[in-house]
Structure 1
Amino acid sequence: MLLTRSSALSGHIKLWFLTLAVLVVLAQTSPDGWLRTCYYGMGKCRHECRTTEKKKERCGDLTVCCLQISKSKLYHLPPVKDQSKKEC
């Protein structure tokens, strides 16, 4: 028996393709994909932090919470210089 356009199988395949298309579009529109957030929603759980991020806390066994340096409270202050090497 050949399947016709009005068969139930054809409707299921269309539904699967529609679901797949929606998931692909959602994955591409999200800038970081589907990453878990941490640190009150300001950080992202990753395996390694990017160069513009710093580690704040652990998210699980293998991931750490990475927070943008610009979102850190004291990012605008210059680094503290070592006082022990001061010349007299």
Structure 2
Amino acid sequence: ANSKQSPSEHQRDGGVALVINGDSLGFALDQRLERLFLEIATMCMAVICCRVTPLQKAQVVDLVKRNKKAVTLSIGDGANDVSMIKTAHIGVGISG
């Protein structure tokens, strides 16, 4: 993809992903930036949040739940996923 394309042009290509770590996500979830973060994230084919806290997982789900007309689904396999699972419209806990 051409680096001079706008995000919406990249979106049409279907080739954009966002990878964000917990430290950066903390800034993105600030009240002043969260809508911009959500707008950028929803332009992407995939969003990967890595090294995030249990609270941040729940905050990402809540951000989508509050601002998009979408049903949220969270799937987790550990105690660190409980907040995220409980925040979603549909929560699935996997044992194992």
Band the TM-score falls in, shorter-chain normalisation:
under 0.3
- Which gives a bigger RCO, structure 1 or 2 (Cα 8 Å, sep 6+)? 2
Given the two structures, how large is their TM-score scaled by the length of structure 2?
0.22
Given the two structures, how large is their TM-score scaled by the length of structure 1?
0.23
